[in-house]
Amino acid sequence: MPSAVRRPFASTVFSLLVLPLVLAGTALADNAGLTPVEARSPNAQGINDAYGWVSIFTGAIFLLVQGSLLLFIVRYRRRRRARDEDGAQVHGNTNLELAWTIAPVLILVAIGGFVFWKLPQIQDVPSANAAGGRTDVTVEGYRYYWNFEYPNGVIAVDRLRAPVGGNVRLEISAPDFEVIHSWWIPALGGKFDAIPGVVNESWFRADAPGIYRGQCAEFCGIQHAAMLAEVEALPREEFDAWLEEEDRAQRAGTSDLGAETYAGACAKCHGLAGEGDIGPALANNNLVQDAQAVETVVRNGGPKLMPPVGADWEQRQMDALTAYLKEGFGGE
Amino acid sequence: MASNDTAVPQWQRGRVASWFVTVDHKRIGILYIATAAFFFAAGGIMALLIRTQLATPDTGFIERDGYNQLFTMHGTTMIFLVVVPILAGFANYLVPLMIGARDMAFPRLNAMTYWLFLFGGMVLLLSFFAQGGAARGGWTSYPPNSVYSEGAGQDLWILALHILTISSLAGAINFVVTIHNMRTRGMSWTRMPLFVWSVEVYAGLLIIVLPALSAGLTLLLLDRQAGTNFFVPSDGGSAVLYQHVFWFFGHPEVYIMILPVFGIISEVLPVFARKPIFGYKAIAFSTVAIGFFSVLVWAHHMFTVGMPDVLNGFFMVSSMLIAVPTGVKIFNWLATLWHGNLHFDTPMLYSLGFLSVFTIGGLSGIFLAAFPIDWQVHDTYYVVAHLHYVLFGGSILGILAGLSYWWPKMFGRMLDERLGKISFWLTFIGFNVTFFPQHMLGLLGMPRRIYSYRDDGLWAGYNLASTIGSYVMGVGLLLFLWNVLKARKGPRAGNDPWLADTLEWYTTSPPPPHNFDKVPYVTSARPLYDLRRKLKDRGAL
């Protein structure tokens, strides 16, 4: 009899303790997913602090519940007792029950208080004349790419460049013919939905140069998984120089905006080399030679699945794309 | 049997025909459970296909559109065709027996709800073969994406949910009327089994929130087919409005799917601990409290749409408040084990497993309720892990506890204990291996609803672990199926194999069509315990 009783006990110990420990052991190697990714911006840090604070309480409750569960399973197992032998006929205990009603309330007050205390650090966008300066960028979600516009009118696709140590204010939205997307770069803070007809505000201040990756977090259709985004944090001077140079190049029509737009807005369905995938092949396709025809399709959508991917583009982006198509997929 | 009743025409007496025309709550309950089990297999296969696609980075097994249909249908199937109706099946079977009634208040309406459920489910599943395939907008079907979705799948999805909504609504009204009017002599509200309490709140919630879903679905259908623009921003509609309407239904739905399971656990634990439930009233009232708060928390699914601080704050606080009555339940269940005489039969193993993993699901919910943290983990695999800890670790483990517990009553045969235990451990371990790593995936930045991902080392490792776990879980569930099929030849159960406390064990297994020849006067929440003690005192037992 004892062996039959011990087996569930041994297995319970195994799965409740050993298994998470094994997982935790491998994961702890470089903090891989037991806490949010390392924060590279004050707002992300605020969220991580809140995560840590909540973990203290949830961790304690976890240990309390699982510990007493295991303890009771071992301590009060039937051993040699008959099935009809009563356990303690206790119907309740008002004081105990009050205690485990009130204690959680106090814990929740502690958690809620901490969250509201941290909220300004997470949410409040630094003012325009805050230390480090502020760059305002609009972030627009399209199927299946991100379009950014800087204050000087420079347009970028899928890769947002930002100055290290500089505040970046994001106006996140989507054109009114679009579906809902969600802007999210984990290391630089939480996500906000890009909703047609709604403008959401967020911000970040990257503390080190590098490329921070993320992807669309609201299911938006067939190529949702391909809707990647990244922020490239550049040293201040490098960023300023890039923005100025890009402005000049985009005005002159000599920038890479066409290639960038193709890679972001077209290639996810037509292939990076125009080989075709969800959409028809563009290489050796006569249509792409005709700027007017391209613009019509891009602004109005295609006959089948193709959404109006560039219905509200500025002319400079449209011209950049048509020029790129003409050059890149030129008639051979 | 029904054949004794001369009013029943000959053609309705056949072994098959009698199931088609039945208005017996027990048969309808079994039909519900069997049909939901079939849909569970279908939804489970979809889940395994999803996990197979995600096992390694850049897999080409089921891509894009097929994958989008799969996760949409997996979620919709599990929620609308499995958990909610299987609980309706338990409630159908058990409520009249537990309250000492002959049947439900409206037996014919009851039969109608089952057939609507079956037809609604078939409309949904068969929509895979519709023009353009099945719906592909997720079980939430947010517009404008769901409005722009091509093909008939999305419309059939709406139709199926409309049918299921009518079925659930009629069923819920039936439960409420039955519980209020048909309790046997002596069964006051505080002597009612806790499972019946949970069905009362389950039914009440359904009545409150299903009309919201129907309204939202109707507007969505009009937007798709009649050219209206309720949810289409290009013509002045609001995409966010749909989310409010949907989640006003959708979050209470989560509690609709877990409250009756709380009821099951509250029935099983005391029997296998040989104790009364600790704090009967606290558990009953916390069920009501959870039901009440559950209609005040819906927008915690919408923290990323950009609501003002005061709304974010309100929905954070209300969501966290639900943790209080839920915590009361968990602590009361633990206290029920204290100084018990614990028997680890299969129903008890599932219940203890439920306690362990449901707690994890509840705790990850605290992180999600704190809205700045939600900004980080919303719509990631963290949420997928959380909801499966609650809906599989919670609802499904609890349902398996209930099936193992009441199977002898329903069919008069015992299940194989050894097979039951192996099945439990495979399911329990497989479940944790599947879903625990998904917390990490979410924190590492993996959004939900993507068919493919880049090779990022850790993403690949956790995803592979998750897929392996899902296969283990699948084997465990197949063993459960084998066990119940094998039980046709199992040992006979007798009226009360577990020495349980509630009235359904007073009658034969399976019970006769009229349920009871006579019902004892109920003097406490444990009428059979009282009866056994009386017999013991008289030396008769």
- ω into residue B513 within 30 of 0, thus cis? no
Residues of chain B contacting residue A49, judged by C-beta atoms under 8 Å apart: none
Give the amino acid at B339: H
Give the active site residue among B26, B251, B386, B439.
B251
- E strands of B362-496, at which residues? none
Report chain A's C-alpha Rg in angstroms: 28
In the residue annotation, B448 being an active-site residue is answered as: yes
Of A62, A69, A115, the CB nearest to B363: A62
| One pLDDT digit (tens) per residue for chain B, 541 residues | 444 556 778 888 888 999 999 999 999 999 999 999 999 999 999 999 999 999 999 999 998 999 999 999 999 999 999 999 999 999 999 999 999 999 999 999 999 999 999 999 999 999 999 999 999 999 999 999 999 998 999 999 999 999 999 999 999 999 999 999 999 999 999 999 999 999 999 999 999 999 999 999 999 999 999 999 999 998 899 999 999 999 999 999 999 999 999 999 999 999 999 999 999 999 999 999 999 999 999 999 999 999 999 999 999 999 999 999 999 999 999 999 999 999 999 999 999 999 999 999 999 999 999 999 999 999 999 999 999 999 999 999 999 999 999 999 999 999 999 999 999 999 999 999 999 999 999 999 999 999 999 877 899 999 999 999 999 999 999 999 999 999 999 999 999 999 999 999 999 999 999 999 999 999 999 999 999 999 999 987 6
CA separation for the pair A324, A282 (Å, rounded): 12
In the residue annotation, B326 being an active-site residue is answered as: yes
How many other CB atoms are there within 10 angstroms of residue A19's CB atom? 14
Q: Number of helices and strands (H, E) in chain A?
A: 9, 10
Closest residue in A to B323 (Cα) is: A104
Question: What angle, rounded to 10 degrees, do the helices at B84-98 and B25-54 form?
Answer: 150
CB distance A83–B274 less than 8 Å?
yes
pLDDT at A230: 96
Q: With contact defined as beta carbons under 8 Å apart, do B367 and A51 qualify?
A: yes
Q: With contact defined as beta carbons under 8 Å apart, do A47 and A39 qualify?
A: yes
Of A76, A84, A190, the CB nearest to B339: A76
Question: What angle, rounded to 10 degrees, do the helices at B417-443 and B346-369 form?
Answer: 10
Residues of chain A with pLDDT under 70: 1-31, 330-332
Q: In the numeric block, which tokens belong to residue A204?
A: 């970040």
CA triplet A100, B390, B400: central angle to 5 degrees? Answer: 105
Q: In the numeric block, which tokens belong to residue B212?
A: 């919201």
Nearest Cα of chain B lies from the Cα of A324 at a distance, in angstroms, of 28
Q: In the numeric block, which tokens belong to residue A325?
A: 């198509």
In the residue annotation, B162 being an active-site residue is answered as: no
Of B41, B46, B56, B42, the C-alpha closest to B467 is B56
Nearest Cα of chain A lies from the Cα of B1 at a distance, in angstroms, of 33
CA separation for the pair A105, A111 (Å, rounded): 10
Q: With contact defined as beta carbons under 8 Å apart, do A212 and A233 qualify?
A: yes
Residue B416 DSSP code: P
Burial environment of residue B506 by CB neighbours within 10 A (0 to 12, 13 to 18, 19 or more)? buried
Cross-strand bridge partners of residue A140: A147, A173
pLDDT at B337: 97
CA separation for the pair B231, B71 (Å, rounded): 23
How many other CB atoms are there within 10 angstroms of residue A104's CB atom? 22
Of A89, A123, A225, the CB nearest to B451: A225
Nearest Cα of chain A lies from the Cα of B489 at a distance, in angstroms, of 24
In the residue annotation, B425 being an active-site residue is answered as: no
Of B340, B373, B375, the CB nearest to A54: B373
Q: With contact defined as beta carbons under 8 Å apart, do B528 and B506 qualify?
A: yes
Residue B541 DSSP code: -
HSE value, Cβ hemisphere, 13 Å, CA-based, for B312: 19
| Core vs surface per residue B134-162: b (16+ CB within 10 A) or e | bbbbbbbbbbbbbbbbebbbbbbbbbbbb
Q: With contact defined as beta carbons under 8 Å apart, do B73 and B124 qualify?
A: yes
Burial environment of residue A252 by CB neighbours within 10 A (0 to 12, 13 to 18, 19 or more)? exposed
Nearest Cα of chain A lies from the Cα of B514 at a distance, in angstroms, of 29
A-B Cβ pairs (cutoff 8 Å, strict): 289
Give the active site residue among B93, B202, B247, B255.
B255
- What interface predicted TM-score (ipTM) does this complex get? 0.93
CB distance A219–B437 less than 8 Å?
no
